[in-house]
Amino acid sequence: MDLIIGAGITGLTYAARTSNDYLIVEKESEIGGYCRTHYSGDYVWDYSGHFFHFQHPEIKDYVMEKLSKDEVLNVYKYTQIYYKGRLVDYPFQMNIHQLEKEEFIDCLYDLFAVKREGDVKSFKEMLYAKFGKSISEKFLIPYNEKLYATDLDSLDVDAMGRFFPYADKEQIILNFRNSRNQSYNSFFLYPKRGVIKVVESVASRVDANKIALNEQLVSIDIEKKIAVTDKRTIQYDNLISTVPFPCLLDMAQVPYDRNVYSCNKVVVFNIGFDRKGADTKNNWIYFPDKDIVFYRVGFYDNIIGLDKMSLYVEVGFAHNDMVDEKALYKRVLADLKKVGIVGSEQVVDYECVVMNPAYVHITQKSETDKVEKMNLLNSRGIYSIGRYGEWKYCSLEDNMHDAFMLAERLK
């Protein structure tokens, strides 16, 4: 029997795909993990912005099979950057020609003057080596420091993998006249009623009697293949974990250096207003300015076609930072007005969601240690998958792909 820890998108996909008998244990009172949706009147709010950028046709077909075409929107991604009081198209490095003349010259000069000599050892060094000083310091470094809430010198060169919008000099120059602001996800799919509809699509293939809600894994005997929850003891053949990897190591009593694994947390405010705001085009806007508390603001109303402004606002913190929710919310509203997103519109309702962990810090040490510990666990029939299970930066589709592959491997 396969014991699956976590009824998020990864755990549910594995259960739906496996030919083995299984049991899912979920500590929350509902399925979905971070892919849950809350409805407040006309507002549709996820835990944060969750959008599908499909790279694998078989996974897209798998998701769409249980959803009607009327339920899902195919959205052309339109995003901008708030930079020094004006909006610049994203990605920044492709649109430096939209800056003031002197800043444009600085960026262009530094881009061509950069010398790629020696080994690049960190994410920050990679930014300088590829884009030069001006592009890096005007946007790429300050934005990502707000996002990750850490010094970028501590992150691995490939910390964001394919999700980082690279661009060579030729692409940047060509974009001056013929703007093609495309990255890995120029289009995305989003259900009108929120990401939970994708979760429900997958869950419809899972035996509901084999999902145990409100039950939390406490410890694992990796030699005897026995898991202890807060309600019972379970004998398993394979254990598939989607919980954060350090938590799995703790429960499996595998010694490790706690300093190796770090992450940020993100406080998300979903805010609904009484009418439409001034921005009717952007899906989301990035904010590198350190004087603005949030790093990104998303517009659900522009994505799903709502006639009242509905925002998700993301603020990054270090993992252990204490957060005063009321004070932060007050600051968020003030900064939304400061940047011109909110004017005379009035708040109708809001909620606060804390995602902890949110973005994991991928370092050379964490990658090396993770592989060593995963090999040990795999040899004992324990498999850790998904964004937090594999301690990586990935998409929702990648989580599903992980589950597909593991189900095939263990059938």
Based on the domain organization, do 110 and 223 belong to the same domain?
A: no
Asked whether 59 and 400 are in contact (CB, 8 A), the reply is yes
CATH number of the domain enclosing 245: 3.50.50.60
Q: Which amino acid is at 283?
A: N
Backbone angles phi, psi at 372, to 5 degrees: -60, -50
Asked, for residue 280, whether it belongs to a domain, the answer is no
Based on the domain organization, do 145 and 19 belong to the same domain?
A: no
CATH number of the domain enclosing 129: 1.10.3110
Based on the domain organization, do 132 and 201 belong to the same domain?
A: no
Question: Hey, what are 141's tokens?
Answer: 């470094």
Last residue of one domain, picked from the residues 108, 139, 174? 174
Q: Which residues contact 1 (CB under 8 A, 6 or more apart)?
A: 20, 21, 22, 23, 235, 236, 237
3-state secondary structure of 401: helix
Based on the domain organization, do 211 and 169 belong to the same domain?
A: no
> Which pLDDT score is estimated for 247?
98
CA pair distance 217, 5, nearest whole angstrom: 7
Based on the domain organization, do 15 and 160 belong to the same domain?
A: no
Based on the domain organization, do 164 and 108 belong to the same domain?
A: yes
Based on the domain organization, do 168 and 200 belong to the same domain?
A: no
Last residue of one domain, picked from the residues 118, 142, 174? 174
Asked, for residue 309, whether it belongs to a domain, the answer is no
Which residues make beta-bridge pairs with 229?
Answer: 217
Based on the domain organization, do 198 and 168 belong to the same domain?
A: no
Q: What is the pLDDT of residues 15-24, one digit of tens each?
A: 999 999 999 9
> Which pLDDT score is estimated for 194?
95
> Which pLDDT score is estimated for 181?
52
CA pair distance 202, 206, nearest whole angstrom: 7
Based on the domain organization, do 252 and 373 belong to the same domain?
A: yes
Asked, for residue 316, whether it belongs to a domain, the answer is no
Asked, for residue 106, whether it belongs to a domain, the answer is yes
Asked, for residue 336, whether it belongs to a domain, the answer is no
- State the total domains in the chain: 2
CA pair distance 41, 296, nearest whole angstrom: 24
Based on the domain organization, do 131 and 245 belong to the same domain?
A: no
Asked, for residue 43, whether it belongs to a domain, the answer is no
Asked, for residue 65, whether it belongs to a domain, the answer is no
Last residue of one domain, picked from the residues 108, 140, 174? 174
Domain extent, residue 128, equals: 93-174
CB atoms within 10 A of CB 93: 24
Mean pLDDT for each consecutive 10-residue tract of the chain (411 residues)? 98 98 98 96 91 88 90 94 96 94 96 81 93 96 97 93 79 77 71 95 97 98 98 98 98 97 98 98 97 98 97 97 98 98 98 97 96 98 98 94 97 89
Beta strand residue intervals within 47-171, DSSP E? 72-76, 79-83, 86-89
Based on the domain organization, do 252 and 121 belong to the same domain?
A: no
> Which pLDDT score is estimated for 408?
97
Based on the domain organization, do 115 and 167 belong to the same domain?
A: yes
> Which pLDDT score is estimated for 382?
98
Asked, for residue 392, whether it belongs to a domain, the answer is yes
